[in-house]
């Protein structure tokens, strides 16, 4: 790959117009963000989208968690899932303080000011996170592993894991299966998922179907056909595994 020493010859095109149907290269950009900015000294990566925010002091909590977990279990093939939530935009506009811990988060949840991510647009996309079981677990000050779901699609959690986890397939652009495909391949490659307690992510505003292009729905023909081809490719690549997704 050639390195560009100058960008002066490049032409920039604005694709933000509502009438522009150019597919957004979401997975390509995820790979660029991950591979182009990750120092060689970094061992773990946290996968997030641009509209997902970490809870305050998440970095230090995760450093402490990884320091402890090294002593008690093999974690090199483990992807630790961080539950994600949506905070109602009216709650944000009122200036309500964002939850600083799980106890405060549950208070907002019980008051319907907060809900699990994608609850209104694709509840099955987060079903293995098992939010109700997570809610019932005791709230503590430190991060602890809760349960280890057996992966099946269309689960698409946010997680932290080793930096050598499979990259995103750039064939998927603004498709419903864009992140699902990476989660699926990670499982096929031998990684397991573990849901964490006492830590979370959030998005400002409830997702609404009217906000999403047709390609981001699970029943979109283009997304389904591309994902079927993707799974065929995985079966050819991972010949020595019995895992399926």
Local structure of 133: helix, strand or coil: helix
Is 36 part of a structural domain of the chain? no
| CA gap 223, 175 in Å, rounded | 5
| CA gap 99, 168 in Å, rounded | 31
| CA gap 112, 105 in Å, rounded | 11
- Residue 18 has a pLDDT of 58
Measured at the CA of 19, the angle between CA 18 and CA 21, to 5 degrees, comes to 100
- Residue 215 has a pLDDT of 63
Other CB atoms within a 10 A radius of the CB of residue 24 amount to 15
Q: Are 86 and 202 in contact (CB under 8 A)?
A: yes
Is 68 part of a structural domain of the chain? yes
The DSSP symbol for 237 reads: H
Is 33 part of a structural domain of the chain? no
Q: What are the φ/ψ torsions at residue 11 (nearest 5 degrees)?
A: -105, 130
Q: What are the φ/ψ torsions at residue 223 (nearest 5 degrees)?
A: -65, -40
What is the count of structural domains for the chain? 1
User: Any residues with CB less than 8 A from the CB of 140 and at least 6 apart, and which?
Assistant: 197, 198
Is 180 part of a structural domain of the chain? yes
Q: Are 79 and 185 in contact (CB under 8 A)?
A: no
pLDDT in tens, the chain (245 residues): 344 444 555 565 555 555 556 678 999 999 998 887 667 888 889 999 999 999 888 999 999 998 888 765 555 789 999 999 999 999 999 999 899 999 999 999 999 999 999 999 999 999 999 999 999 998 888 899 999 999 999 999 999 999 899 999 999 988 889 999 999 999 999 999 999 999 999 999 999 888 776 667 777 888 999 999 999 999 999 999 999 98
Is 83 part of a structural domain of the chain? yes
Q: Which helix (H) or strand (E) holds 46?
A: strand 44-46
Is 26 part of a structural domain of the chain? no
N-term to C-term CA, the chain = 33
Is 31 part of a structural domain of the chain? no
Domain of 190, in residue numbers: 45-237
Is 80 part of a structural domain of the chain? yes
Other CB atoms within a 10 A radius of the CB of residue 151 amount to 20
């Amino acid at each position: 790959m050639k390195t560009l020493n100058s960008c002066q010859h490049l032409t920039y095109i604005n694709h933000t117009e509502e009438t522009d149907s150019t597919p957004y290269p979401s997975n390509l950009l995820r790979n660029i963000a991950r591979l182009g900015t990750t120092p060689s000294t970094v061992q773990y990566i946290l996968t997030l989208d641009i509209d997902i925010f970490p809870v305050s002091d998440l970095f230090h909590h995760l450093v402490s968690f990884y320091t402890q977990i090294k002593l008690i279990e093999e974690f090199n093939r483990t992807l630790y899932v961080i539950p994600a939530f949506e905070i109602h935009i009216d709650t944000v506009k009122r200036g309500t303080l964002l939850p600083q811990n799980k106890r405060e988060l549950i208070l907002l949840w019980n008051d319907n000011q907060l809900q699990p991510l994608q609850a209104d647009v694709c509840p099955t996309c987060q079903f293995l996170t098992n939010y109700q079981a997570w809610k019932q677990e005791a709230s503590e000050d430190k991060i602890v592993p809760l349960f280890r779901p057996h992966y099946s699609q269309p689960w698409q959690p946010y997680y932290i894991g080793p930096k050598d986890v499979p990259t995103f397939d750039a064939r998927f652009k603004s498709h419903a299966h864009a992140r699902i495909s990476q989660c699926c391949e990670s499982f096929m490659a031998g990684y397991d998922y573990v849901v964490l307690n006492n830590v979370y992510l959030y998005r400002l505003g409830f997702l609404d179907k009217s906000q999403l292009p047709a390609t981001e729905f699970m029943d979109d023909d283009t997304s389904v056909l591309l994902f079927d081809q993707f799974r065929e490719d995985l079966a050819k690549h991972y010949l020595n595994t019995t895992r399926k997704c």
